[in-house]
Amino acid sequence: MFGPGLSKIASTWTTTIGVAGEDTTYGEVVVNGTLYYGEYGHDSTGKPTSSLKSEGVGYQGYKAIESSFYWGKTVRGADYRLRGDGVLYRFVNKQVTRYPGYSAVKTMTLISETLTYDTFLAVTNGGALYTIHIPTGTAAPTVKKVRTSTWQNFDSLVAEKCGAQSTLLTAIDKDSGSAYLYAVGHANGAATVIQGLGKVPGTFKDPVYYLHTAEGTPSLFGE
């Protein structure tokens, strides 16, 4: 959909299959400072389809974008944007909430999307690992330190649900082209269990890494 290197950051991209066999993969991406909602896939005859819709400009220097979606008896969602100066924005319908104070965050990934909160796992420039717990109401986020150091080389985190309440985490160091896999227990501050599963085969120096999942997959519940 884009020329090599043009896309800078991306949200989770989700694939859905229609009743006639059509498929669509959708998500958000920042290209040349513009935020886009994009789709690609195939119609019921197998013909490729794609579309892009601009959602705003001025996204140069942003560190992360993500969308949470919880589905159960109640359905809810939110869009998040982490600006380069450390302001974290949450968009719910047309309501915008602004959370300053995250300038130390280098990268982050969503690990929980529940009825009452979302949680991100974040790496700081100094190498610490934190959770950022964001209630769906008006209360301020809660930040907990998970590890104090050694994570500073990682430029990207990609989290996927593992079991009922844990996280399979891929941590990527683009400078060396290395990626490492971790099993992260249900997050609980410094008591969180993290098991290293080793280095992932291959070289990882692409501009963007993100979770690709399927529609209907159970919501993340890593904290």
What percent of the chain clears pLDDT 90, i.e. is strictly above it?
Answer: 95
pLDDT reading at 126 higher than 90: yes
Name 71's Cβ contacts closer than 8 Å, sequence gap at least 6.
219
pLDDT at 220: 97
Residue with tokens 């690992």: 129
Domain-embedded: residue 88: yes
Residue 96 token pair: 């915008």
pLDDT digits (tens, 9 = 90+) for 148-202: 999 999 999 999 999 999 999 999 999 999 999 999 999 999 999 999 999 999 9
Residue 2 reports pLDDT greater than 90:
no
Structure confidence at residue 5 (pLDDT): 86
Q: What is the pLDDT of residue 182?
A: 98
Instruction: State how many domains the chain has.
Output: 1
What are the residues whose beta carbons fall under 8 Å from the beta carbon of 142, sequence distance 6 or more?
132, 133
Cβ atoms within 10 Å, residue 33: 13
Selection from 201, 191, 200 nearest residue 169 by Cα: 200
Report the pLDDT value the prediction gives residue 73, as an integer from 0 to 100. Answer: 87
56 inside domain: no
pLDDT digits (tens, 9 = 90+) for 47-81: 999 999 999 999 999 999 999 999 988 999 999 99
Q: How many CA atoms lie within 13 A of 157 on its CB side?
A: 30
Name the CA dihedral angle for 214, 73, 166, 153, rounded to a multiple of 10 degrees.
60
Structural domain boundaries enclosing 178: 61-207
In this structure, is residue 45 part of a structural domain? no
Please indicate, yes or no, if residue 151 is contained in any of the structural domains.
Answer: yes
Specify the pLDDT at position 28. Answer: 97
Q: Which of 200, 169, 173 is CA-nearest to residue 184?
A: 169
Per-residue pLDDT, 4: 86
The enclosing domain of 144 has a CATH number of 2.115.10.20
Indicate whether 99 belongs to any domain.
yes
| 35: in domain | no
Rounded mean pLDDT, 201-215: 96
Whether 84 maps to a domain, the answer reads yes
Whether the pLDDT of residue 3 is over 90: the answer is no
Phi, psi (degrees; rounded to nearest 5) at 160: -135, 150
Residue 12 lies in a domain: no
